[in-house]
Amino acid sequence: MKVQLENVSQHTIFADPALCVNQVSTRTLSGGDIVAVFNQERYPYHHDSGQTLLTRSSDGGSSWTQPTVVLPWSDRTGNWDCGFCELEDGTWMVNLAICGYFKRGVRPEGVSWSSGPLTEQWGDWSWAHKLQSWLGTFVLKSTNEGRSWTEPIPVNVRPMKHGGCRLGAWQMPSGSLFLGLYGRLEEYGHPNPDEAFREVTRSALLRSDDGGDNWEYYSTLAYDPASIINFEEPALLRLDDGTLVCFLRTHVKPSFDSRNMAIVISEDGGFCWSPPRWTNIWGFPAEAIRLTDGRYLLVYGYRRPPYGVRGIVSEDGLNWDVADEFVVRQGGVPVLTGMDRPSSSYGMGAGGHARGAVDAFHPGIYQHIGYPSVVQLADGKVVVSYHEWSETPQPLQEVRCTSFDIA
């Protein structure tokens, strides 16, 4: 059903003057405040090697505290892909991935492949691209509302050799915790867009029955045995009758183009899942919540013109129709063109640079917007958080939110 947004307002959660910040995840606390965790990059471009920051809002997203660091970066490690969950006993838990951020241990015999700058601050950028590696998924806990944190607790993702998170854990009425993961059994690192790449990404649920101290693989959400469709970044929703619904980002080989969002359903508490089916919704990644009026809300990034964040409301949480789509936020991709701009070190040229013009149909790394997260407050107000690029000569990702009443 089509909805109307009322009393819409836009707010900045955090904007770093020199670095990108992105991939925010939010939850409401038992006391009503919103907590947001997000990634602060160590560079003015997207790289997944930074540190996790946490901030809090007591006024419905209008203002936010100065962020604090959950797990700092070092010259050897970084962390990203964070999520937050307040457990039923009041413990705060943050999940994240840690990467090794390696420099060369053996002096190279040849010259650097990098065309990027050799600077005192960043060194030779070639090692940042070639020698970064996922080390594992971890959780950290706090019993004093984030003033201090435990050491990172390793999450057992076996039999997977690589796994990443998109959102925080979900605590079920039984007390068990579910953590959505996506990765592969045989390969580490990011997918290589090559037909010879054998394995596609699967999505899975990890489960903990002891408050997040120990985890194990519980169930497969979606996997394509034909090795064509990647199922990624699961977003879990529990319906009133206990049915679990999970929304999945998809990409297909060999192009790795994005396809419509997929959905899987479990009627036995998350152990068995229906075969994935396509929705008619294009957009990713997603998060879904139950609204206080009994309906369900899905939000997702929209990475094609005119870009932004969109949403859909469903009466039953099982049936979703793009005809009911509405815009939460439009834009977020810089329109300045003709500049040599830094891009992600994962793509587009030696040294992590994109050269030449950027436009709406060829945005390069600037398509990396959205990653929305959504909460609803006790007064009914909805707050959707996301990241987008600043419209400045040196565009930077900034974390922002839109609040509204939903009619």
Which positions ≥6 away from 50 have C-beta within 8 Å? Answer: 19, 39, 40, 41, 42, 43, 73, 78, 79, 80
pLDDT tens track for 133-188? 889 999 999 999 999 999 999 999 999 988 899 999 999 999 999 999 999 987 66
Place of tokens 């000569």: 393
Q: Summarize the confidence of residues 343-351 as an average pLDDT.
A: 43
Check pLDDT > 90 for residue 131.
no
Tokens for 115?
A: 């065309």
Residue of 332 and 345 predicted with greater confidence: 332
pLDDT for the residue numbered 196: 44
Residue with tokens 């039923």: 88
- Residue 390: exposure state from Cβ atoms within 10 A (0-12, 13-18, ≥19): middle
Task: Say which amino acid occupies 146.
Answer: G
- Cα–Cα distance for residue pair 49/309, rounded to 1 Å: 25
83 touches 70 (CB < 8 A): no
| Residue 295 burial class via C-beta count within 10 angstroms: exposed 0-12, middle 13-18, buried 19 and up | middle
* Helical H segments across 200-328, by residue range: none
Q: How many CB atoms lie within 10 A of CB 251?
A: 19
Contact 22, 368 (CB under 8 A): yes
- Please tell me the pTM assigned to this model: 0.92
Residue 398: other Cβ atoms inside 10 A: 20
Would you state the pLDDT for residue 107?
A: 67
CA gap 385, 375 in Å, rounded: 9
Which position has the higher pLDDT, 102 or 312? 312
pLDDT value of residue 123: 54
Please name each of the domains of the chain with its CATH number.
5-104+122-406 (2.120.10.10)
Q: Give pLDDT, residue 89.
A: 97
Average pLDDT over residues 97-101: 89
Q: Supply the DSSP string of 151-172, one letter for each residue.
A: PPEEP--TT-SEEE-SS--EE-
How high is the pLDDT of residue 249? 98
Read off the pLDDT band of 282 (50, 70, 90): very high
What's the chain's average pLDDT?
Answer: 88
Angle at the Cα of 65 from the Cα atoms of 60 and 69, rounded to 5 degrees: 125
Q: Tell me the two tokens of residue 162.
A: 């690589």
pLDDT band, very low/low/confident/very high, at 352 (cuts 50, 70, 90): very low
Cα within 13 Å of Cα(32), Cβ side? 8
- Residue 265: closest CA among 319, 213, 303, 306: 319
Six token digits for residue 380 = 């009914």
Query: H or E stretch including 12?
Result: strand 5-14
Q: Which of 44-53, 61-70, 208-217 has the lowest mean pLDDT?
A: 44-53
User: Left, alpha or beta for 227 (phi > 0: left; psi -120 to 50: alpha)?
Assistant: left
pLDDT at 349: 40
d(CA 74, CA 45): 18
User: Strand pairing partners for 183?
Assistant: 163, 202
Tens of pLDDT, residues 220-270? 999 999 999 999 999 999 999 999 999 999 999 988 899 999 999 999 999
CB 291 within 8 A of CB 297: yes
Under a CB-based contact definition with an 8 Å cutoff, are residues 281 and 262 in contact? Answer: no
